[in-house]
Amino acid sequence: MMVRLSAAQSCPISGGLRPDSSRWLALAAFSLTLALMGPKPAYANGNHTHIGISLMAIDLLPEGDLKALVSDPALRPMLINGTIFPDGGYAVSHPYGETAHWEPYQRKLVARVRAGCPVPMATLECRQKFAFLLGMASHGMADQVFDALYMDAAKKHDAANWSDELLLGFDTSTDVLWVAERGGIEAPALWLPMTELLATFAEVGLKVEATTLEDGQTVLLLIVLGYGNSAGKDPKKVAAAKERYPWGAAHLLDPHTPGSPPSEAKVVASYWRQLWSEWAEGAQPGLEVLATLPSQGGGGLAADKADPASTVAIVLSRGIEAASVQDSALELVVGGTVVPGDRNLFYGQDSHVLRLRPKAAWPSGEVTLRWAAGGLKSFDGHSLGKSGQVSVAVGPATAVEPGLPPPGWSLSPPPTKGVGGDGGGDDGGGCQASPARGASATGRSAWALLAMALAGLWLWPRMGSRDAAIAP
């Protein structure tokens, strides 16, 4: 059941009873306790960056219902809530966050929503739910591309000062830098399709209460986004982040760096289109190569295996069955000769990003990656529908940006350049309203929010991470 949590607007915000201030003080204390327990690895994009990626992806969509949906200011709160939702479990130390990142959960959630909304654009409630789902899809895909490529490179280039300490980690620091460069997001009202979320968690065997989902989402909206907005405007914190991660800071907005937010936005836009073709346009579910990094005709491939830039990555349209990643499914060809290489499904079972590197070094010239129809298989039983290939150059980068679909992609090619959107600013939330004096948009008293904010100064935005299956 969807009920209003905010007394100021009629925007449906799921979650049951209005929270009392003692509950939120307890949540603040719990968040502070988690933060003070010590350093934990925290990878992937920060949440301002996640939202910025979703907003950039909108500009890469062709005109049509999909672009109209994610561009609608009245649906912006739902898109933002969905974009950050998977990280809420980390904030309250509950496994729902990890589960929500991955397609086995997300596709079951989509099926449940589609059962009530077979035509996604038919009603306002349906459009709200699909905006939330697209935000979730953006988050899961962006994290995989960022971690497998951008973060992996930063761990080498910025190794000297790499930290897993509180508020000094790579995801938090790059989020601070993102806000400094592009501006932050003011938190919209909390919005969750609670009935479908809870039923789907139960379907996959995970017990979680509505209050837990509310708590996690509240920490993200009020504390994590609040910290980013504050720190991104603090010259000392911005300078410290640049000093700690100079390579990461220099390449964060570079569209030619594989795994950077601009390249993530390209992959997310194509992923959205692939999903929408199934959800709304009647396309049969299937598996295909969604994007490659570098793209066809791109360059910048380093010869030495020890250099992260030696990686050729392909992104699949569905999560992959790890056992299907065999040499016969993918070939690396140089000068007409098949050459050996290492294959690594970065996050293992159910993930999308498959990396290939040379055994020792790439020969000079051009490397061609070929994939065979029927070779790779998805976690839900689909086989790669057709063969294909991309060729990329070893040596200097070309003008072709990474993250584009390969030749022969089933949908029309997206723009090759021009990732737009300001990545921040007004969230455009049609469900935002000025709250009553002394209360927030989520109905919490000012003193409870102050306690949460103080705890938030110490909150680690990601309280855990999935262990990467990284090839040696």
- pLDDT at residue 307 tops 50: yes
- Per-residue burial over 286-297, b if 16 or more Cβ lie within 10 Å, else e, is bbbbbbbbbbbb
- For residue 181, which phi and psi values (nearest 5 degrees)? -90, -40
Residue 86 DSSP symbol: G
The arithmetic mean of pLDDT across residues 28-55, rounded, is 69
Count of helices and strands (H, E) across the chain: 17, 8
Q: What is the pLDDT of residue 328?
A: 85
Options 3.40.50.300, 2.60.40.1220, 3.30.1330.60, 3.20.20.70; CATH for 284-394 is 2.60.40.1220
Amino acid at 340: P
- For residue 471, which phi and psi values (nearest 5 degrees)? -70, 145
Model pLDDT for residues 189-248, shown as the tens digit of each residue: 999 999 999 999 999 999 999 999 999 999 999 999 999 999 999 999 999 999 999 999
CA distance to 83, 154, 376, 399, 465, per residue, from 347 (Å): 20, 18, 16, 29, 11
Q: Where are the domains of the chain?
A: 21-255+445-456, 284-394
Determine the Cα–Cα distance for residues 231 and 457; give it in Å rounded to an integer.
Answer: 10
Determine the Cα–Cα distance for residues 315 and 384; give it in Å rounded to an integer.
Answer: 12
Residue 103 DSSP symbol: H
* Higher local confidence (pLDDT), 309 or 412: 309
Hunting for tokens 């504390």 — which residue is that? 223
Report the candidate in 60, 179, 225 with the shortest Cα–Cα distance to residue 423: 179
**Contact partners, residue 53, CB within 8 Å, separation at least 6:** 45, 83, 138, 142, 261, 264, 265, 268
Report the candidate in 81, 79, 99, 102 with the shortest Cα–Cα distance to residue 90: 99
Determine the Cα–Cα distance for residues 441 and 8; give it in Å rounded to an integer.
Answer: 7
- pLDDT at residue 467 tops 60: no
Determine the Cα–Cα distance for residues 261 and 150; give it in Å rounded to an integer.
Answer: 9
Which tokens in the block code for residue 162?
A: 């790499």
The partner residues of 367 in beta bridges, in order of sequence, read 334, 392
Determine the Cα–Cα distance for residues 46 and 55; give it in Å rounded to an integer.
Answer: 14
Q: What is the pLDDT of residue 364?
A: 86
The arithmetic mean of pLDDT across residues 71-100, rounded, is 96
**Taking the CA atoms of the chain, what radius of gyration do you get in angstroms?**
21
Q: What is the pLDDT of residue 114?
A: 96
Length of the chain as a residue count: 472
3-state secondary structure of 444: coil
Model pLDDT for residues 438-459, shown as the tens digit of each residue: 333 333 333 334 434 444 444 4
The partner residues of 229 in beta bridges, in order of sequence, read none
**Contact partners, residue 229, CB within 8 Å, separation at least 6:** 48, 179, 184, 185, 186
The distance from CA 266 to its chain's CA centroid, rounded to whole angstroms, is: 12
* Stated pTM of the model: 0.84
Determine the Cα–Cα distance for residues 41 and 218; give it in Å rounded to an integer.
Answer: 22
DSSP string for 264-281: HHHHHHHHHHHHHHHHTS
Report the candidate in 134, 156, 164, 170 with the shortest Cα–Cα distance to residue 44: 170
Three-state secondary structure of 310-337? HCEEEEECCCECHHHCCHHHEEEEECCE
The partner residues of 384 in beta bridges, in order of sequence, read 287
* Cβ(28)–Cβ(454) below 8 Å: yes
Q: What is the pLDDT of residue 33?
A: 52
Model pLDDT for residues 5-35, shown as the tens digit of each residue: 222 222 333 333 234 445 555 555 555 555 4
Amino acid at 444: R
For residue 43, what pLDDT band results from cuts at 50, 70 and 90? Answer: low
Asked if residue 294 has a cis previous peptide bond (ω within 30° of 0), the answer is yes
Decide: residue 395, CB within 10 A, 0-12 exposed, 13-18 middle, 19+ buried: middle
Model pLDDT for residues 145-182, shown as the tens digit of each residue: 999 999 999 999 999 999 987 689 999 999 999 999 99
Which tokens in the block code for residue 179?
A: 């806000």
Which tokens in the block code for residue 3?
A: 């009920």
The mean-pLDDT minimum among 32-41, 91-100, 228-237, 270-279 falls in 32-41
Determine the Cα–Cα distance for residues 242 and 41; give it in Å rounded to an integer.
Answer: 19
Hunting for tokens 């090619």 — which residue is that? 413
* Cβ(355)–Cβ(344) below 8 Å: yes
DSSP H or E segment with residue 84: helix 76-84
Determine the Cα–Cα distance for residues 83 and 70; give it in Å rounded to an integer.
Answer: 12
How far is the first Cα of the chain from the last one, in angstroms, to the nearest whole number? 48
